[in-house]
Structure 1
Amino acid sequence: MIVAIDGPSGAGKSTVSKLVAERLGFSCLDTGAMYRCVAWRAAQEGVDLGDQAQLGRIAREARIEFVHEPGSIAARAVLVDGCDVTAQIRTAQIDRAVSAVSAVVAVREALVDQQRAIGAGGDFVVEGRDIGTVVFPQAEVKVFLTASNEERARRRVAQNAERGVGSVDFDEVLADIVARDARDEARAASPLVAADDAALIDSTRFSRDEVVARICALAAEKLS
């Protein structure tokens, strides 16, 4: 079974996906991390974000790996060509670059192929922005998770402060979130949009545990 969780930046997809996967006994795949890996590699190589051919090359050639501890649901580390980039792909610089990278058709085609190959290997909770619409349109459970701009910015600031990575300036984070939403929604390739058959959940009004319970209930209906 595939549980697809889509939504904008800062909606809580990563945390919720891990908790849902843990409760269901599924594995968890963070597709956004894969686009961040391409953005990181592009920065390392000095590739201009407008150079679509080079970004496509990186997406095809980069070896992206998720390192799991035995029996773990979520990845302990993310590697690009053997280099641990778990922290490096979560910086403010990558936050700002990843929308441009993910808008490139060649990048999306390369990574979607990888994502489908991974998902074919078992039961997964997959999070991203086009999982239910493009990557796994046949997913048994589809969720579009969102929250208000201010709530998403507050959560991202708290997350950045806890990790010690990324901006902790509320106004800066809020502006970045609004700008990224606009780019993700306007891109020609796989824009950020809820699938027609997705359950819409606004996490502004619900606790994390309530959101997890609602998604698990949707999965339980399908499994039964």
Structure 2
Amino acid sequence: MKHINIAVDGTAGSGKSSVMKRVAVKLKMNFIDTGVMYRAFTKFCLDNQVNFLNDKEIEKQIKNFNFKYINENSILVNNVEYGKTIFDYDVAENIKYVAKNNKVRKFMVLAQREMTQNKNNIVIGRDITTVVLPNAELKIYFDCSVEARAQRRFNQNKRKKITPNVYEDILRQIQQRDDYDKNREMGALKIAPDAWYLNTSNLSIGKVIRLILNKIENLK
């Protein structure tokens, strides 16, 4: 297969990460989950007791935020491994304030573009197809019902022993995140005109993977 960049956007919990990291392994491509970077920055702000209602306080943290993305489960921030702490409840509650901050997004977009200069990457996020990699060889938009996404996240947290883990709280967080993602001023979540729309609500992971592999095969 020729070296390409595959850009993937979609709603929170729609299966982007679970599916695309398996595709990346099968095709021996780099897998980059940009959400990990935003989660790590949110955790960094929490550690520094930032007031998330104050954009200036959030923005001040950028100059001190030095990170190295290892994989979707590992990111170093100022040489400290954050690990699964980026999936803590407080991070999920406050990431929306970070994600809508224009200066944070500009910082992240530049970092993500630098990471993907050499092709052969699968990159997932919220504005990858429209902002970060608008010229990617393949663009995919994942979607899924809110209820199905909340159940998936609940099951994922249970497997990873992440607490607290309450379905109703997860459902509310996802609904709030959708609202922020789709209506923020910069990098709003939207379907690129040339993106392939894929609704995973009633599809198994295996089925979605097969559909995507066939799509990539047709790029040759």
Indicate the RMSD between aligned Cα atoms, in angstroms.
1.4
CA contact (8 A) 2:12 2:149 kept: yes
- 1:6 pairs with 2:9: yes
CA shift for structure 1 position 38: 0.9
Superposition pairs for residues 43-192 of structure 1, below 5 Å? 43-67=46-70, 74-75=71-72, 77-192=74-189
Moved more, 212-221 or 147-156: 212-221
Which amino acid in 2 is paired with 1:207?
Answer: S
Query: Which of 23, 26, 32 is the matching residue for 1:23?
Result: 26
Instruction: Give 4+ residue runs of structure 1 displaced > 4 Å after superposition.
Output: none
CA shift for structure 1 position 86: 1.6
Query: Which of 195, 207, 212 is the matching residue for 1:210?
Result: 207
SS at match of 2:17: helix
Taking the aligned partners of 2:45 and 2:22, their CA distance within structure 1 comes to 32
- 1:42 pairs with 2:45: yes
Taking the aligned partners of 2:54 and 2:168, their CA distance within structure 1 comes to 30
Provide the identity percentage.
28
Matched with 2:191 is 194
CA shift for structure 1 position 12: 1.3
Distance change >3 Å, CA 60–CA 109, structure 1 → 2: farther
Moved more, 16-25 or 129-138: 16-25
Which amino acid in 2 is paired with 1:128?
Answer: G
CA shift for structure 1 position 52: 2.0
SS at match of 1:109: helix
CA shift for structure 1 position 96: 1.5
Taking the aligned partners of 1:135 and 1:27, their CA distance within structure 2 comes to 16
Segments of structure 2 that go 5 or more residues without pairing to the other structure are none
- Could you give the per-residue CA deviations for residues 45-95 of structure 1, whole angstroms, max 9, x where no partner exists? 11111222332332343111123xxxxxx4552111111112111012111
Taking the aligned partners of 1:87 and 1:211, their CA distance within structure 2 comes to 26
CA shift for structure 1 position 170: 1.2
Which amino acid in 2 is paired with 1:18?
Answer: K
Moved more, 77-86 or 53-62: 53-62
SS at match of 1:49: coil
Which amino acid in 1 is paired with 2:13?
Answer: G
Which amino acid in 2 is paired with 1:199?
Answer: W
Segments of structure 1 that go 5 or more residues without pairing to the other structure are 68-73
Which amino acid in 1 is paired with 2:131?
Answer: V
